[in-house]
Amino acid sequence: MFNEDSGRYSLQGLRILLVEDDPLICLDLEASLVEFGAIVTSAGSVLAGLKAMTASALDFAVLDFEMGAETSEPIALAAKARDVPFLYLSGYSEQDERFSRWPGIQVLVKPLSAEEVARGIEAALSKSG
């Protein structure tokens, strides 16, 4: 996924669900992922994320863990049931107790760059496939 020739990440044609409740982070990350060639469906709430998960054919999901008063865990469970690999974005490290029920799931700590997310997607896909 990292293109040595261009020195850029390529997520060409990858269908990604992006769930992020901060509108600015969501817009920025969505624009970057699209720039890398991904086809992005974004959702700003757990309900919208669940609807997108069941309505779309997806290759990957990027889930903000803390979604206001709730977490994105229902979307993660839906992703797992549909064999859609995913990773979490969070202000907490993956050693935090919140992630104890998600062994093996990568947690990227905010703030982070789009390149870090692309690397995380690449790592998760190579692990799952």
Share of the chain above pLDDT 70, in %: 92
Q: Which two tokens stand for residue 79?
A: 């992703």
Angle at 115 between CA 113 and CA 120, to 5 degrees: 100
Q: Is the pLDDT of residue 8 over 80?
A: no
- Report, as an integer, the average pLDDT of 66-94: 94
Report, as an integer, the average pLDDT of 41-59: 95
User: In this structure, are residues 85 and 128 in contact, taking their beta carbons and an 8 Å threshold?
Assistant: yes
Q: Which stretch of DSSP H or E encloses residue 128?
A: helix 114-128
pLDDT at 2: 47
* Residue type present at position 10: S
- Cα 30–chain centre separation: 10
Cα dist from 82 to 8, 27, 31, 54, 126, whole Å: 30, 26, 26, 9, 18
The answer on pLDDT for 29 being more than 50 is: yes
Query: Which residue ranges form the domains of the chain, and what is each CATH number?
Result: 2-128 (3.40.50.2300)
